[in-house]
């Protein structure tokens, strides 16, 4: 246990990349500050003469250069059998895929210099992984046989490649190195074929297609082919025609024939991974010429539901076109279990909670309509689309009103106004321009005042003095003031909304149950008894939790329903001195949000900001010191003032 906690301390400092006080580390690790000092001393003793964890009056900080040097040395170490446990497991799986007739356990034992009992242990460890791919090991005497369909074995090969190379973006060099194929010229020819059919792939997607082709080619060479599929259903699609031309490329380059089921699955891959090359020819009126009407109807229905439930309007023509194409591909991927990996899933989930939650809601709607399963990586891709759209809209909706004061002198104010509009046109609305020196300051009621002359500082308004000919440093200072105003707006909105949702009867401490679902039920039952929600809302909250865990940064969980069906809006708080299991994380603060549909705009206004406050370890530490409801509220208010 101590060893695991030392690792956790190192990982926490690595993620934080800053000085951290001992008491913060202690709270994070559920130990005393004295234990943290002991851990740090023991860690530094093992890395001597190098110092891995630096200390000062600011606390502790990881010496990153020493850390990465140690990581490199660790990777070069080998266990007595020449393989690390995980490497041995992947070796065992790859061998079982290669030798479909079975592997002799005693031959394996001699080959990798481990006992048969060690291999037996590896087989048990592999069980849960194999189940994800509908595969299993069966025994026939001393033979170990991998049981399952060829297409599922190929998916397992793809998974092992990701795990072994850690190449989330699928660089050509990684695929070449792993499988021994020369792909650079082939990649360029492949892109040309797709472009000739007006199909587009990005750099990540092309790597995915190349990996599929290489694995399929390798397996066909080993006489392991996929059973026949009904290819006739796809022959009229341009993706089938593109796949046929790609099959000719494969034959010429690698001497392998793709036909029948192999051509079918390559076509399905192109349908799920490519998009239309030219968006210029597309509009909402002719979209159904390129894509089935049912997908357009589904996306329009989803857009309307997002507006109804969250009061967030994500509609414009460009979004409709790109998002419909994405949803069509996603559904095809899910139907054929080709769901994409997303290297930025954790980052999207933790950095943009509201956008991610909208994506969870949309994924849930698609799952119910299409009877498919959508994983967290695909949810994050949906979040990409929503985030890109909302970023474009956010600046238009939250413009800051501005007064510009610049005494007229040969129209000198005109180029200055043009420069301001060019630099900040999407952030500020210049509502007043004053060109004389007789100014009634008290009559100005805009958020921001930009002036070229000295005027009295007004309480409650942000003032920026600039040069008549705007310099770069003036631009920087204006941007700083805009950021300051936006932060102040957010704090005021958060404070007004948030405090109204708390109730002393919904404040609890030190509740320890087996998992997040038991915790949700316990909190939910109390909210039912107090008249905040109906009993059915508990299942709705669990449904949302099942889609994707609501834990953030290993500190806090914010469970909630996607239906906003509370009788009265409220936030129920649980503070725990010790962490409790929540999905794959452990948390100490649980904030269950229940909102009435008439107040659903509150969710949009507070969700991101509330999570960001709770996700900071220093804030968690401060809030966990609360001995009662009043202390918690006072601490939360102080954090909202910062």
Tell me what the mean pLDDT of segment 531-538 comes to.
Answer: 95
Contact yes or no for 556/589 (Cβ under 8 A): yes
Q: Which domains does the chain have, with CATH numbers?
A: 2-76 (1.10.10.10), 85-148 (1.10.10.10), 157-276 (1.10.1790.10), 287-396 (1.10.1790.10), 400-495 (3.40.50.2300), 500-641 (3.40.930.10)
Length of the chain: 642
Residues 587, 519 contacting (CB under 8 angstroms): no
pLDDT at 4 over 80: no
β-bridge pairing 199-200 and 143-147: unpaired
Please, what's the b/e burial string for 261-299 (b: 16 or more CB within 10 A of its CB; e: otherwise)?
A: bbbbbbbbbbbbbbbbeeeeebeeeebeeebeeebbebb
Residue 535's pLDDT band (cuts 50, 70, 90): very high
- Spell out the residues 6+ positions from residue 413 whose beta carbon is closer than 8 angstroms to its own: 404, 406, 407, 433, 435
pLDDT digits (tens, 9 = 90+) for 90-131: 888 988 998 888 888 888 888 888 888 888 888 888 888 899
The set of residues, in sequence order, having a beta carbon less than 8 Å from that of 6 and lying 6+ positions away, is: 39, 42, 43
DSSP 236-286: TSHHHHHHHHHHHHHHHHH-----THHHHHHHHHHHHH-EES-STT--TTT
DSSP 319-331: HHHHHHHHHHHHH
Run of H or E including 558:
none
Cis peptide before 49 (omega within 30 of 0): yes
How far CA 617 is from CA of 15, 20, 22, 487, 554, in Å, comes to: 12, 9, 12, 21, 9
Q: How confident is the model at residue 83 (pLDDT cuts 50, 70, 90)?
A: low
Which CA distances in Å does 447 have to 368, 464, 484, 640? 46, 11, 11, 21
- What is the reported pLDDT for 279? 61
Which secondary-structure segment (H or E) carries 504? Answer: strand 502-509
Residue 355 CA from chain centroid, whole number = 10
Q: Above 90 in pLDDT, residue 18?
A: no
Give the 3-state secondary structure of residue 434.
strand
Q: Decide if pLDDT at 80 tops 60.
A: no
- pLDDT for 77 equals 47
Task: Give the integer Cα–Cα distance in Å for 634 and 626.
Answer: 9
CA torsion angle 85 86 87 91 (round to 10): 100
Residue 455 has what pLDDT? 80
Residues whose CB falls within 8 Å of the CB of residue 407, separated by 6 or more in sequence, listed in order: 413, 435, 436, 437, 452, 453
In angstroms, the Cα distances linking 366 to 51, 76, 221, 379 are: 52, 46, 39, 11
The confidence score (pLDDT) of residue 579 equals 87
Report pLDDT for 78: 45
Question: 101 φ, ψ to 5°?
Answer: -75, -10
- Mean pLDDT is lowest, of 27-31, 245-249, 271-275, for 27-31
Q: Under 8 Å CB-to-CB from 402, ≥6 apart: which residues? A: 428, 429, 430, 431, 432, 446, 447, 448, 449, 450
Residue 182, classified by CB atoms within 10 Å of its CB into exposed (0-12), middle (13-18) or buried (19+), is exposed
Q: Are 277 and 195 in contact (CB under 8 A)?
A: yes
pLDDT band at 229 (very low <50, low <70, confident <90, very high): low
Provide mean pLDDT across the span 350-365. Answer: 89
Mean pLDDT, the chain, as a whole number? Answer: 84
As a three-state string, the secondary structure of 65-100 is HHHHHHHHHHHHCCCCCCCCHHHHHHHHHHHHHHCC
pLDDT above 90 as % of the chain: 23
> What confidence category does residue 592 fall into, taking pLDDT thresholds of 50, 70 and 90?
very high
Greatest Cα pair distance in the chain: 99
Per-position b or e across 69-108, b if 16+ CB within 10 A of its CB: ebeeeeeeeeeeeebeeeebbbbbbebbbeeeebbebeeb
pLDDT tens-place string over residues 32-76: 888 888 888 888 888 888 889 888 888 899 988 888 777 766 555
Nearest to 556 by CA among 580, 535, 522: 580
pLDDT > 50? residue 391: yes
CA proximity to 93, closest of 136, 62, 45: 136
395 pLDDT higher than 60: no
Asked whether the predicted pLDDT for residue 490 surpasses 70, the reply is yes
The secondary structure element, H or E, covering residue 513 is none
Q: Tell me, what's the pLDDT at 397?
A: 57
**Nearest-angstrom CA–CA distance, 608 and 539:** 24
Indicate if the pLDDT at residue 564 is higher than 70: yes
pLDDT above 70 covers a percentage of the chain that reads 92
Distance CA 323, CA 315 (A): 10
- The answer to whether 356 and 349 have CB atoms below 8 angstroms apart is yes
Determine the average pLDDT of the residues in 452-467.
80
Cα-flanking dihedrals φ and ψ of residue 451, to 5°?
-135, 145
Q: Show Cβ contacts of residue 418 under 8 Å, excluding neighbours closer than 6 positions.
A: none
Q: Three-class SS of residue 176?
A: helix
Lowest-confidence segment of 91-100, 208-217, 404-413, 427-436 by average pLDDT: 404-413
Q: Which residues contact 267 (CB under 8 A, 6 or more apart)?
A: 231, 234, 237, 239, 240, 243
Rounding to the nearest 10 degrees, give the CA dihedral for residues 38, 43, 45, 48: -150
Between 71 and 481, whose confidence is greater?
481
Rounded CA-CA distance 503/522 in Å is 17
- What is the pLDDT at residue 540? 94
Q: Is the pLDDT of residue 194 over 60?
A: yes
Q: Which residues pair with 62 in a beta bridge?
A: 53
82: Cβ contacts below 8 Å, ≥ 6 apart: 112, 113
The reported pLDDT for the residue numbered 3 is 67
């Amino acid at each position: 246990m101590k060893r695991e906690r030392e690792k956790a301390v190192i990982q926490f400092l690595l993620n934080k990349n800053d000085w951290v006080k001992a008491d913060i580390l202690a709270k994070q690790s559920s130990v005393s500050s004295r234990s943290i000092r002991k851990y740090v001393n023991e860690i530094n003793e093992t890395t001597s003469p190098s110092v891995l964890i630096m200390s000062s009056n600011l606390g502790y900080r990881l010496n990153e250069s020493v850390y990465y040097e140690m990581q490199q040395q660790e990777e070069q170490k080998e266990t007595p059998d020449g393989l690390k446990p995980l490497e041995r497991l992947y070796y065992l799986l790859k061998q079982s895929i290669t030798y479909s007739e079975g592997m002799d356990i005693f031959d394996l034992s001699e080959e990798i210099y481990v006992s048969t009992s060690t291999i037996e242990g590896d087989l048990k460890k592999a069980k849960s992984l194999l189940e994800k791919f509908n595969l299993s090991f069966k025994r026939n005497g001393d033979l170990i046989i991998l049981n399952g369909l060829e297409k599922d074995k190929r998916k397992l090969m793809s998974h092992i490649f990701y795990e072994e190379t850690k190449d989330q973006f699928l660089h050509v060099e990684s695929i070449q190195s792993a499988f021994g194929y020369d792909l650079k010229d082939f990649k360029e020819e492949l892109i040309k074929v797709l472009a000739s059919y007006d199909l587009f792939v990005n750099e990540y997607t092309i790597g995915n297609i190349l990996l599929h082709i290489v694995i399929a080619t390798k397996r066909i060479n080993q006489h392991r082919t996929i059973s026949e599929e009904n290819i006739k259903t796809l022959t009229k699609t341009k993706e089938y025609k593109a796949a046929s031309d790609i099959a000719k490329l494969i034959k010429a380059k690698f001497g392998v024939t793709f036909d029948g089921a192999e051509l079918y699955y390559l076509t399905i891959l192109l349908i799920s991974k490519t998009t239309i090359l030219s968006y210029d020819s597309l509009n909402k009126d002719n979209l159904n010429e390129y894509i089935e009407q049912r997908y357009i109807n589904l996306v329009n229905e989803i857009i309307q539901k997002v507006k109804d439930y969250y009061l967030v309007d994500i509609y414009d023509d460009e979004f409709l076109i790109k998002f419909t194409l994405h949803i069509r591909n996603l559904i095809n991927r899910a139907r054929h279990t080709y769901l994409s990996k997303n290297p930025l899933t954790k980052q999207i989930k933790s950095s943009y909670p509201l956008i991610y939650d909208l994506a969870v809601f949309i994924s849930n709607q698609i799952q119910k309509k299409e009877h498919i399963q959508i994983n967290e990586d695909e949810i994050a891709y949906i979040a990409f689309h929503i985030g890109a759209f909302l970023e474009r809209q956010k600046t238009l909706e939250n413009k800051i009103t501005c007064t510009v004061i610049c005494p007229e002198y040969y129209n000198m104010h005109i180029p200055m106004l043009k420069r301001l509009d060019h630099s900040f046109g999407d952030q500020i609305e210049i509502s007043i321009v004053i060109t004389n020196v007789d100014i009634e300051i008290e009559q100005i009621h805009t958020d921001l005042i930009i002036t070229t002359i000295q005027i009295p500082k007004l309480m409650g308004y942000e003032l920026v003095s600039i040069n008549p000919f705007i310099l770069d440093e003036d631009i920087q200072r204006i941007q700083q003031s805009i950021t300051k105003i936006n932060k102040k707006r957010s704090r005021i909105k958060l404070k007004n909304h948030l405090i109204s949702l708390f109730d002393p009867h919904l404040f609890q401490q030190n509740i320890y149950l087996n998992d997040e679902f038991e915790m949700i039920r316990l909190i939910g039952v109390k909210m039912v008894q107090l008249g905040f929600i109906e009993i059915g809302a508990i299942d709705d909250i669990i449904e949302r939790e099942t889609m994707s865990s609501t834990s953030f940064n290993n500190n806090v969980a914010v469970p909630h329903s996607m239906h906003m069906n509370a009788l009265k809006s409220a936030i129920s708080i649980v503070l725990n001195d010790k962490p409790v299991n929540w999905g794959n994380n452990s948390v100490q603060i649980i904030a269950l949000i229940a909102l009435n549909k008439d107040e659903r705009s509150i969710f949009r206004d507070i969700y991101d900001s509330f999570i960001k406050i709770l996700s900071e370890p220093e804030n968690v530490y401060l809030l966990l010191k609360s001995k009662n409801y009043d202390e918690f509220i006072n601490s939360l208010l102080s954090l909202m003032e910062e």
